């Protein structure tokens, strides 16, 4: 009903304006003006019972073809009533007072009938448009809920996977009679779990927060590997506020440690690099391969059943689609690399702050 009055007044106002313009050649004939005025007023008033009828038909979900036939039948006597009012108005203001004939009323009835059926067509057209618009919004909302559920499931998949691997490492320390190291690892694990379970509904966090979580994970692995694990950071400080998927780095770094460092008796390094590539953020994780064939290493990373890389790839596809890329390769130094790109995005509050600062500088 909130939309009815603006559309009703606007539609009939436009129709009246057209009639006035078309009547300008006969503007000195009072009887003609009275005829057009009576016709417009009667048609306008007739649109209200037509509205009630159309509303009831729409509410009861009557088939559109049946509804059209019903409206055509009902509109005819209303159109005749409009013609009668128009002729009566013309006769009242006419100087010559011609005789009244029902044939004149019947002849003019199609004009009123056509005006009301045009109104009916607009009513059902607008109703169908609003219905399709509501279904479209509902479909978008359903797709967003489904996408969010998939992202949540993918993210939560990492936590038991990571927890299982870390508990295995703790049990290994206990079996190797290293209780102090095991205790320290349990403490760091508890702190990491608290930070990863904080604000569980967030799918994106700043790169700085994601790097901090990754650093906490590497601190846990450093207890197990000691000097065998070297972590190198090559970060662009200008990108720390860019939004990235939550827990996007940890599984990649975990793969680098498990499939690279853990299989090297002498240990090795893990490099985390962030760079800007136009409007995209590029993140690279590099690690030294194990002292065995690279083909075995690549198979360990890319096998279909692997959770880490598969999870990251799926999350990037769900969140960014074709706007993100992910590659695995062996570089010229013989080290294994995993890199991915995603569009640079900032939180709304941070973006507003940056725009404010840019305006102040200008």
Where does the chain have alpha helices with state H? 4-22, 30-59, 64-93, 102-175, 179-197, 207-225, 250-259, 294-302, 307-320, 348-361
Identify whether residues 99 and 226 lie together within a single domain: no
Identify whether residues 190 and 287 lie together within a single domain: yes
Phi, psi of 287 (to 5 degrees): -145, 155
Higher pLDDT, 46 or 173: 46
Total structural domains within the chain = 2
Tell me the C-alpha distance between 339 and 309, whole Å: 11
Identify whether residues 189 and 121 lie together within a single domain: no
Identify whether residues 11 and 124 lie together within a single domain: yes
Extract the tokens encoding 237: 């400080």
CATH number at residue 342: 3.30.565.10
Identify whether residues 213 and 113 lie together within a single domain: no
| Residue 186 Cα distances to 175, 198, 246, angstroms | 15, 18, 23
Confidence category of residue 295, pLDDT binned at 50, 70, 90? very low
Mean pLDDT of 81-101: 73
The sheet with strand 325-330 has its strands ordered as 229-234, 268-277, 280-287, 336-343, 325-330
Give a yes or no: residue 78 inside a domain.
yes
What pLDDT shows up at residue 315?
82
Give a yes or no: residue 61 inside a domain.
yes
Residue reference for tokens 């680098």: 256
Comparing C-alpha atoms, which of 307, 320, 312, 266 is closest to residue 288? Answer: 266
C-beta separation of 36 from 23 below 8 A: yes
C-beta separation of 320 from 343 below 8 A: yes
Helix (H, G, I), strand (E, B) or coil at 261: helix
Planar angle of CA 182, 188, 194, nearest 5 degrees: 135
Instruction: State yes or no: pLDDT of 247 exceeds 60.
Output: yes
What pLDDT shows up at residue 296?
45
Dump pLDDT digits (tens) for 249-267: 988 998 898 888 888 888 8
Give a yes or no: residue 156 inside a domain.
no
Task: Give the residue numbers spanning the domain of 87.
Answer: 4-138
Identify whether residues 76 and 190 lie together within a single domain: no
Identify whether residues 130 and 182 lie together within a single domain: no
Extract the tokens encoding 255: 């793969």
**Listed residues 81, 114, 138: the one ending a domain:** 138
Give a yes or no: residue 173 inside a domain.
no
Identify whether residues 12 and 72 lie together within a single domain: yes
Give a yes or no: residue 284 inside a domain.
yes
Tell me the C-alpha distance between 362 and 356, whole Å: 10
**Terminal C-alpha separation, the chain:** 48
Identify whether residues 93 and 189 lie together within a single domain: no
Tell me the C-alpha distance between 163 and 220, whole Å: 12
Identify whether residues 191 and 123 lie together within a single domain: no
Residue reference for tokens 């090795």: 268
**Listed residues 84, 118, 138: the one ending a domain:** 138
CA-based R_g, the chain, Å: 37
Instruction: State yes or no: pLDDT of 94 exceeds 80.
Output: no
* Percent of the chain predicted with pLDDT > 90: 24
Comparing C-alpha atoms, which of 271, 185, 189, 188 is closest to residue 229? Answer: 271
Comparing C-alpha atoms, which of 51, 36, 55 is closest to residue 112? Answer: 36
Q: What are the residues facing 206 on neighbouring strands?
A: 243
Identify whether residues 38 and 185 lie together within a single domain: no
Instruction: Decide the pairing of beta strands 268-277 and 280-287.
Output: antiparallel
Residue reference for tokens 């604000």: 199
Q: Among 62-76, 125-139, 144-158, 338-352, name the one with the lowest average pLDDT.
A: 144-158
Instruction: State yes or no: pLDDT of 308 exceeds 80.
Output: no
Identify whether residues 84 and 186 lie together within a single domain: no
Tell me the C-alpha distance between 282 and 305, whole Å: 26
Higher pLDDT, 49 or 347: 49
Give a yes or no: residue 52 inside a domain.
yes
Instruction: State yes or no: pLDDT of 298 exceeds 80.
Output: no
Give a yes or no: residue 162 inside a domain.
no
Give a yes or no: residue 326 inside a domain.
yes
What pLDDT shows up at residue 324?
93
Q: Quote the mean pLDDT of the chain.
A: 80
Instruction: Decide the pairing of beta strands 268-277 and 325-330.
Output: unpaired
């Amino acid at each position: 009903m909130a939309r009815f009055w603006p559309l009703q007044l606007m539609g009939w106002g436009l129709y009246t304006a057209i009639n006035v313009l078309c009547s300008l050649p006969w503007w000195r004939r009072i009887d003609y003006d009275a005829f057009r005025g009576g016709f417009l007023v009667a048609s306008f008033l007739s649109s209200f019972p037509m509205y009630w009828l159309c509303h009831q038909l729409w509410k009861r979900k009557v088939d559109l073809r049946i509804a059209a036939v019903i409206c055509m039948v009902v509109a005819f006597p209303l159109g005749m009533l409009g013609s009668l009012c128009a002729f009566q108005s013309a006769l009242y203001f006419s100087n010559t007072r011609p005789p009244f004939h029902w044939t004149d009323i019947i002849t003019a009835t199609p004009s009123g009938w056509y005006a009301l059926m045009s109104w009916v067509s607009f009513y059902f057209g607008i109703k169908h448009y609003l219905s399709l618009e509501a279904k479209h919004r509902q479909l978008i909302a359903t797709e967003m809920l489904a996408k969010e559920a998939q992202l949540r499931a993918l993210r939560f998949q990492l936590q038991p996977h990571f927890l299982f691997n870390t508990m295995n490492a703790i049990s290994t320390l206990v079996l190797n009679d290293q209780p102090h190291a095991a205790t320290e690892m349990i403490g760091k694990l508890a702190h990491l779990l608290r930070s990863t379970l904080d604000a569980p509904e967030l799918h994106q966090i700043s790169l700085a927060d994601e790097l901090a979580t990754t650093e906490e994970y590497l601190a846990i692995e450093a207890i197990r590997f000691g000097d065998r694990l070297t972590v190198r950071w090559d970060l662009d400080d200008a990108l720390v506020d860019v939004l990235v998927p939550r827990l996007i780095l940890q599984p990649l770094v975990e793969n680098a440690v498990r499939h690279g460092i853990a299989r090297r008796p002498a240990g090795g390094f893990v490099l985390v690099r962030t760079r800007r590539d136009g409007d995209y953020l590029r993140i690279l994780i590099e690690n030294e391969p194990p002292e065995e064939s690279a083909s075995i290493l690549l198979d360990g990373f890319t096998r279909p059943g692997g959770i880490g890389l598969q999870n990251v790839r799926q999350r990037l596809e769900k969140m960014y689609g074709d706007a993100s890329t992910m590659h695995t390769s062996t570089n010229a130094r013989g080290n294994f690399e995993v890199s991915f790109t995603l569009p640079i995005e900032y939180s709304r509050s941070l973006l507003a702050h940056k725009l404010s600062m840019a305006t102040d500088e200008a």
